[in-house]
Structure 1
Amino acid sequence: MAGWLLILALLLLGGGLAVMGDRLGTRIGKARLSFFRMRPRRTAMVFTAITGSLISALSFTVLITVNDRWRRGLFELGRIERSLQTTREDLNTTRKALESVQEALVTSQETLMDAERNRAQAEARVQELREYTGTLQVQTQELQQTIHVLDGQRQQLWNEQALLTETVRRRDQQLDALQEQINSQVNMLHGLRRSVTALRRGDVTISRNEPLAMAKVVLPRSDDSKVAINSLLNRANQVAYERLLPGQTPTRQIIYIPTSEVERIATALQDNEAWIVIIRSANNVFLGENFLLAFADMRPSRQLLAAGQVLASVIVEEDERSLEAVNQRLSLLLATARNRADRLGSLNGQVMLDNEALTALVQDLVGRTTPRAALEAFSMEDGETGDPLRLGVRWLNSPLGDAPDPDHG
């Protein structure tokens, strides 16, 4: 609407100015005015042209004053055209970019569709892998349990292997020890054979483990131990000389005892207790030999027997009235008593008897009137480990008296 009003205003203004110019030219022509020494007619034409120019200038002035677009179009047309050209070029570039983008979009859409399909396939694959992973986890747990069981079995096998190795090692040691024992037994057997042969010939004078000297030792002072040991060894050396080299004067030591044995004896004697020390032969020794290997047998001295303690008993049967039969029964009684004392710990092999009383008892048993006779062997006194065994024999059902003498022997 504003454009039509502007056109109408320009038409009215141009018409008014045309009328004014025409009248101005007519008046100038009638007045015969001259401008710049021109003829009046030319002057009128110049003013008429000036009026037309004013109409055009005024029209342009109104247009550029009222309408900003016309003003920019009149004065900035070249720049606008250049900008338009640039814009068109940019538009073409943009269109080309748009086409490229559209093509890329199509490609992207296709790629997206492919990616969607791949994703669907991947999701399906992932689901399969999850299921497979679950199966693998279950199998892994089963395998772990199996591995745990196998580890336990392997540890058990290792333990069994170690046990078997230890058993084999012990068996080898036992076999070695048995082999050594066998070798030792073979050597001992050879020695025994030689000893048996020597015994048959009567050449063995001192047998193995036979005591050579025995003493009960109680030391008030520890520094007396060497004196006591030397005294005991000298006694044993004297006995060995008398039995191996009879008739010769002891001039040197023929008994050899390890130093460790001597030290063991000395250490044991330092506790101020009573000890029974026995020097024994370590092997069989023949008559005429001048070397004897010995060792020490030590036992603590203690009371073994009490006075009146019964050690053995025997029955003399009715038909055993001869001297030989009675002596056999008495020998059995005394041997049993001796054996009982040995089992109790007696180390002294000497047995002391009242021979007169024993002879009288034998005569009474031979001439008895009772069918059977009960005899007992008993200890006559308190006895310790190293004391000789003093025995008495009594007849329990003796018809010779109402109360038999307990010391009868």
Structure 2
Amino acid sequence: MSDVGLILILVVLVLGGVIATVGDRLGTRVGKARLSLFNLRPKQTAVVVTILTGTLISASTLGVLLLASKTFREMLLNFGRIQTELRDRGRDLEKAATDLKATDAQKAQVEKQLTEARSERAQVEEQLKRINADLKTSIDRQRETNAQLRTTEAQRDLTRRQLVAVSGQALKLRSDINQLQSEQKTLITQRDQVKQQIAERDAEIAERTKLIEQRDREINERDQVIGQRETDLKRLEAQRASLTATLQQIERDVELIRSGDLAIYRTQVLSSGVVRVGNSEGAKAAIDQLLQYANRSAVEALRLGRDDLQIVQIRTTEVESLIQQIRNGQDYLVRVQALANYVKGENKPVFVYMSAVPNRVVFSAGETIAAQTIDPSKLAPQDFQRSIQELLAVSNTRARVAGVLNDNIQIEKLLTLGSFIDQLRRYPTPVELRAIASDTTYTAGPLKIELVAVQNGQVVLRASS
């Protein structure tokens, strides 16, 4: 509390005490002298003097507050204008919410176009799979693009959920502000009622004065809470704007992926390898070699035309931490991944980060990775290839969940796959199509699978037969 506030309180107390003392003295003397005013009895005259004294105390207190406190004077005189400004701000917030809904509708349209683009991409993949010479390169490139697209879409969905949460918080804050304003009106009404009762009940002046002060403090507290809620609302609006900008950036990344201008995408593995070293020198040499491979991959992806460029950069502290992790003589899968997106022809440093995970056994040879039951007699010719693609997709998903970090799936005896499908069509009863691991699969991958057809628990057809 400031010195001015202390002086103001002291003046109000002293002034009230002086007026009360004078009124008491005056009332006593009027009573003793048995004076009569306005043809009233002496006792009634004393009561009138006491009431006038109480009224003078209230008037002097209100006058001192109005003259000395600018804040109190503005609150009392401009209360209607303040409420009007609060309503205007509420209408502005509702307009912003309407604009946000329109933006969400536009996003839904973009997502519909994205679904159509995926359908077209699936048709192109089926055509590319018929070209055996470029099959492996096309599958690798498509899986990398799909992984980045899923990561980007997951980021977009997370950002959209955050936007919904922020909007919900904003609506809650608006509701709290309206409730506090209603409570403020109620408190003001109660305060006015208490002031009116002071003039009628002189015996309860002291108690009612305390109640008024309490109501005033509550009103001030409600004003502070309203101010805090408005501050929080502004902060949430700023956070929503930031999330919207992030979502727009993610949408731009998706467009870059579709257009094919993106040479290196965020989290793309530029190089990887399984290392086993027992000292810091060996660990440093292995890391340097992986960074060289990553630099070569980055230069080729960006199509800079020079093999001698050193564009890959990583923090020294991260390299030192990785050396301490892998120098214990165990097998580790070490990967070098990009920190951001880079466009073709962009000649600037490519910042990367490195990670190392133990290279453990994930699948044993002969283990079933995924299975699907089909009825060859009810499937059209094109449905067989679609069923195999779905089985491979499920296998890839399970491998990632189990810990295989290489998305590349290798199908054993791929050249006999057409013959496998032709023989499968001849079965008149349902069979179970399985993808089994043809070799022991580690964290580093890749997952090598073999396609088999099982009926009544017995293998009746293999893709390698």
Answer yes or no: is 1:261 the counterpart of 2:318.
yes
Q: How does 1:327-346 map to 2 (within 5 A)?
A: 327-346=385-404
What is the aligned partner in structure 1 of residue 363 from structure 2?
A: 305
Partner Cα separation in structure 2 for residue 300 and residue 180 of structure 1 = 43
1:375 corresponds to: 433
d(CA) in 1 for partners of 2:443 and 2:330? Answer: 13
- Are 2:322 and 2:355, in contact at CA under 8 Å, matched by a contact in 1? no
Aligned partner of 1:220 among 278, 291, 295? 278
User: Does residue 1:348 correspond to 2:399, yes or no?
Assistant: no
User: What amino acid maps onto 2:333 in structure 1?
Assistant: I
Q: Cα 1:260–1:185, aligned 2, differ >3 Å: closer, same or farther? A: farther
Q: C-alpha separation between the residues in 1 aligned to 2:248 and 2:386?
A: 36
Q: Give the match's secondary structure for 2:340.
A: coil
Residue 272 of structure 1: aligned partner: 329
Structure 2 counterpart SS, 1:315: strand
Q: Could you say what secondary structure the match of 1:296 adopts?
A: strand
Which residue, 335, 342, 345 being the options, matches 1:288?
345
Report what 1:193 is aligned to.
Answer: 251
Q: CA deviation at 1:407?
A: 7.5
**Distance in 1 between the 2:281 and 2:269 partners?**
26
2:450 to 379, 392, 398: 392
Q: Corresponding residue for 2:263?
A: 205
Please list the CA deviations of residues 281-319 of structure 1 after superposition, one character each: whole Å capped at 9, or x if unmatched: 112211111232211122111111101110100122345
TM-score w.r.t. the length of structure 1 is: 0.52
State the alpha-carbon separation in 1 of the partners of residues 239 and 291 from structure 2.
31
Structure 2, gaps ≥5 residues long:
1-227
Q: 1:54-100, CA deviations, whole angstroms, 9 ceiling, x for partnerless residues?
A: xxxxxxxxxxxxxxxxxxxxxxxxxxxxxxxxxxxxxxxxxxxxxxx
- Answer yes or no: is the 8 Å Cα contact 2:370–2:395 preserved in 1: yes
The whole-number CA distance in structure 2 between the counterparts of 1:268 and 1:258 is: 16
Matched, 1:251 2:308: yes
> In the TM superposition, what are the counterparts of 1:3-152 in structure 2 within 5 Å?
none
**2: distance between equivalents of 1:186 and 1:263?**
37
- Shift in Å, 1:219: 0.7
User: Is residue 409–residue 447 contact of structure 2 (8 Å, CA) maintained in 1?
Assistant: yes
Alpha carbons of structure 1 residues 184 and 320: separation in structure 2 relative to 1, 3 Å: farther
Aligned residue for 1:356, secondary structure, equals helix
SS for the counterpart of 1:237 is helix
Which residue pairs with 1:129 in the alignment? none
Deviation of 1:189 (Å) = 2.3
1:238 maps to 296
Match of 1:19 in 2: none
- CA deviation after TM superposition for structure 1 residue 183, in Å: 7.4
In 1, distance between residues paired with 2:414 and 2:422?
12
Task: Specify the SS of the correspondent of 2:450.
Answer: strand
CA distance in 2 between counterparts of 1:349 and 1:255 reads: 23
Deviations 1:7-61 (A, max 9, x none): xxxxxxxxxxxxxxxxxxxxxxxxxxxxxxxxxxxxxxxxxxxxxxxxxxxxxxx
Match of 2:455, SS state, is coil
CA–CA separation in structure 1 for the residues paired with 2:241 and 2:367: 46
C-alpha displacement of 1:206 = 1.8
Corresponding residue SS for 2:307: coil
Residue 185 of structure 1: CA displacement?
4.2
Letter in 2 for 1:263: E
Aligned to 1:314, the other structure's residue is in SS state strand
Q: Match for 1:342: what amino acid?
A: R
Computing the radius of gyration over CA atoms, which structure comes out larger, 1 or 2?
Answer: 1
**CA deviation profile, 1:315-356 (whole Å, cap 9, x unmatched):** 223454433100000000111111111111001122111212
Work out the CA distance in 2 between the residues paired with 1:219 and 1:185: 44
Give the counterpart of 2:423 among 364, 378, 393.
Answer: 364
Residue identity matched to 1:361: F
SS at match of 2:292: helix
Kindly state the Cα deviation for residue 357 of structure 1 after the two structures are TM-superposed.
3.1
- Change in CA separation of 1:230 and 1:278 when aligned onto 2, cut-off 3 Å: same
Match of 1:85 in 2: none
Q: Any unmatched runs of 5+ in structure 1?
A: 1-167
Whole-Å separation in 2 of the counterparts to 1:180 and 1:214: 41
Q: Secondary structure at the match of 1:396?
A: strand
Percent of paired sites with the same residue: 25
Is the contact made by 1:379 and 1:389 (CA closer than 8 Å) also made in structure 2?
Answer: yes
- On the 8 A contact 2:452/2:459 being kept in 1, the answer is no
TM-score by length of 2: 0.46
Does the Cα contact within 8 Å between 1:398 and 1:404 map onto a contact in 2? no
Corresponding residue SS for 2:335: strand
The CA distance in 1 between the partners of 2:243 and 2:381, in whole Å, is 45
